[in-house]
Amino acid sequence: MDISSLRNDFPTMRNNRGVYLDSACQSLRPDSVIEAILGYYNEYPSCGGRSVHAMGSRVSMAVDAAREALAGFFGTDDPDCYVFCKNATEALNTVAFGLSLKKGDTVVTTDSEHNSNHVPWLVLSEEKGTRRRYAKTTDEGELDMESFKESVEGGTKVVSIIHASNVTGCVMPVAEISEIAHDAGAKVIIDGAQAAPHMKVDLDKIDPDFYCLSMHKMLGPSGMGVLYGKSEELATLRPLSYGGGTVGLATYDSVKLTPAPEKFEAGLQDYAGIAGTKAALDYLSEAGMENVEAQDRKLMRQMVRETEDVKGLKLVGPSDPDRRSSVFSFNVDGLSPHDTALMLDNIDGIMIRSGLHCAHPFFEGKKIGGSARASVYLYNDAEDVSRFSSALRKAAEAFGR
């Protein structure tokens, strides 16, 4: 993977818009994805799955091609197991509220979930009387497997867990988790929003019942997510929305829904986004997910090495860069996370995230008030990291405690 050549594929990189280290929130997009989006609007801006004219047929073919690309990318056979939605949040909500859980059913998560895999279960607990158990993570954010095994004992219905943390970067042993949960009779939901962009994900090997991801974190368009579900699970899952596209036949007093995936895709879809999704998958496939993961690791090692002497720096998560995936969360004594982020932007155009990162349970459980977070992706290089490290050192020396 030629990083210097690859960077030219991204308009903001070519135009020197600063150092973008916020890809855990949303990635940049290469020319091919932008062109695919524009191609839809310029060449075939029509409806899929409805009209039989030439433009409508082309849209339907583009949707089918994107599902086939997803199946190939994630190591599965059936393209109809992939549902298009707005983001991983909508995918997680679709599963949580579509499983028809009832009072007394137990859901197991970790104590460090993103709000998208935390709040829906809170709402279900309030509305339906479901129960919640939390498997513990260590101070650095890695899963305590003994705690997890204890949590699933005793009639667990659902295990819903992050694949990789958007705060610590810790990667959960999801294949082992799936096996333990299935042995206990539980369905397995995985929040793959932070993992799918940064490592090769083979869903046949991991064996979840559902896997949720956001394309906007993996070079795809904003407002595009994907829900994967095993065919037998999608067949019984209730949709979150109903209407056009989900209906096989409706009368005045009855409705027969279409099969999955269409029964989950109510109304006209973001066809431009679906075209961009296919282009993003093609781009990542050509780059090679093994190369993406290797580049992340290389940059994390450099980031840890170059900042270890920064005054007052405290890492959130593992000190070992090989356990951090692609995120570097930290605090500087005397500076709030937002102050740190603003200073880095002002010093050298370094763009990072600050706050609670929508992972409130993690920060509450670890008694941390938030963090600054630099996150890398395949288009970042050693110079980006050096500029970040230099700006951080200046901020800490000038304004830190």
Q: What pLDDT, in 10s, does the model give residues 290-304?
A: 999 999 999 999 999
Give the pLDDT band (50/70/90) at residue 328. Answer: very high
Query: Vertex 43, ends 38 and 45: CA angle to 5°?
Result: 80
Domains in the chain with CATH codes: 32-286 (3.40.640.10), 288-399 (3.90.1150.10)
- Confidence class for position 401, pLDDT limits 50, 70, 90: confident
Cα 30 to its chain centre, rounded Å, is 19
pTM beyond 0.75, yes or no: yes
Q: What is the DSSP letter of 380?
A: -
127: CB partners within 8 A, 6+ apart: none
Q: Rounded distance, CA 301 to CA 294, Å?
A: 11
Distance CA 401, CA 388 (A): 20
Model pLDDT, residue 132: 96
The closest of 320, 315, 301, 311 to 376, measured between CA atoms, is 301
Which listed residue (25, 47, 212, 358) is catalytic?
A: 358
Region 77-103 average pLDDT:
98
Residue 171 — pLDDT band, cuts 50, 70, 90? very high
- The whole-angstrom separation of Cα 292 and Cα 1 is 8
The amino acid at 244: G
Task: Using the predicted structure, report yes or no on whether residue 1 has a pLDDT greater than 80.
Answer: no
Give the separation between CA 73 and CA 247, rounded to whole angstroms: 29
Which pLDDT does position 28 carry in this prediction? Answer: 98
Q: 2 falls in which pLDDT band (50, 70, 90)? A: confident
Cβ-based neighbour number of residue 223 at 10 Å: 15
Percent of the chain predicted with pLDDT > 90: 95
358 catalytic per annotation: yes
Lowest pLDDT segment from 84-93, 177-186, 203-212, 241-250:
241-250
What CA–CA distance (Å, rounded) separates 54 from 279? 22
CA angle 338, 215, 258 (to 5 degrees): 135
* Structure confidence at residue 400 as a pLDDT band (50, 70, 90): confident
Is the pLDDT assigned to residue 51 strictly greater than 90?
A: no
> For 398, phi and psi rounded to 5 degrees?
-85, -35
Matching residue, tokens 């200073």 = 343
What are 264's two structure tokens? 């989950």
